[in-house]
Structure 1
Amino acid sequence: MSETLDDDLYVRTKALLEPGDIELVGCIVHTTLSGSEDLEMHELTVAANDVIAAHADKGETYIEAGNDNTDFSSNQFQGLTLDDEAFVWECQQLLREGTFDIVFYYEAGVDQDALASALADLDGVDRVTQVP
């Protein structure tokens, strides 16, 4: 991936984390998955849900899908708790230079280094960029 695209994605991700009702942090999961590997990207998103939920210590979660934002190339997803449908994480799946990048953001307070390391260990992940 070119440095310019990577920098732009980082800046756009950081903008999503601007102050709101809750303090957010995030990461960009750079994958090895091509644009034709939608099923594998879905499986990676499900695996990332489990990792993020475990690190956020929010209990069991489910994934809600939607196409709420036309700025993104693919669906937008949220991880919500089973108990009370509380926010755990949100992501956008972006196709960049032939492979998918998945931008996750979640409530601050998780161990970012441990979470990024666990996400980097998932199948199909090339690297993870943390976004404070």
Structure 2
Amino acid sequence: MSKTLDDDLYKRTKALLEPGEIELVGAIVHSGLTSQEDLEMHELTVDLNEIISEHAGKGETYIYAGNDSTDFASNQFQGLTLEDEEFVWECQQLLRDGTFKLVFYYEATADQEAIVSAIESLGYDVTAVP
């Protein structure tokens, strides 16, 4: 991926974290997966849900795809708690230079360092977005 695309994606991700109702941080996961690897993309999203949920301290979560909502775009997902459907994370899967970058953002109270470390332990490059 070119430095320009990386910088642009970082800036766009940072803009998503602008102050709102809750303080957010994020992570860009450079998956290396192509548009032909749907099953692998799904499996990676499930794995990342488990990592982020564990380090966010919100309990068990499920992945909401938003298929029943016009507020969601294709390749946009949320992690919500099982207990009360509380927000844990949101993700956009973006195709850049032929491979997917998964842009996750979640509450700043999550253990950002542990999340990044756990994702890297799966073998992926990660850009933390404070």
Please report the TM-score for the alignment, with normalisation by the length of structure 2.
Answer: 0.92
Provide the C-alpha distance between the structure 2 equivalents of 1:80 and 1:19, rounded to a whole number of angstroms.
Answer: 21
Determine which structure has the larger strand proportion and give its number: 1
Where 2:51 maps in the other structure, the secondary structure is helix
Alignment-mate amino acid for residue 33 of structure 1: L
The aligned counterpart of 1:51 is 51
Q: Which runs of 5+ in 2 are unaligned?
A: none
CA distance in 2, matches of 1:119, 1:99: 17
**What is the match of residue 128 of structure 2?**
130
The answer for unaligned runs of 5 or more in structure 1 is none
C-alpha deviation, 1:114, in angstroms: 1.4
Cα deviations across residues 24-63 of structure 1 (Å, max 9, x unaligned)? 0001000121121111011100100000000001000000
Question: Could you tell me whether the CA contact under 8 Å between 1:44 and 1:122 is conserved in 2?
Answer: no
Query: Secondary structure of 1:34's partner?
Result: coil
Q: How far 1:69 moved relative to its partner?
A: 5.2
Q: Any residues of structure 2 matched to 1:12-51 within 5 Å, and which? A: 12-51=12-51
Instruction: Please say which of residues 99-108 and 33-42 is displaced more in the overlay.
Output: 33-42
Match of 2:61 in 1: 61
RMSD: 1.3
8 Å CA contact retained: 1:29, 1:128: yes
Q: What is the 5 A alignment of 1:92-107?
A: 92-107=92-107
User: What secondary structure is seen at the aligned counterpart in 2 of 1:117?
Assistant: helix
Aligned to 1:85: 85
Give identity over the alignment, percent: 72
Equivalent residue runs for 1:107-122 within 5 Å: 107-122=107-122
With 82-91 and 105-114 compared, the bigger mean Cα shift is at: 105-114
Q: Which runs of 4+ in 1 moved over 3 A?
A: 67-70
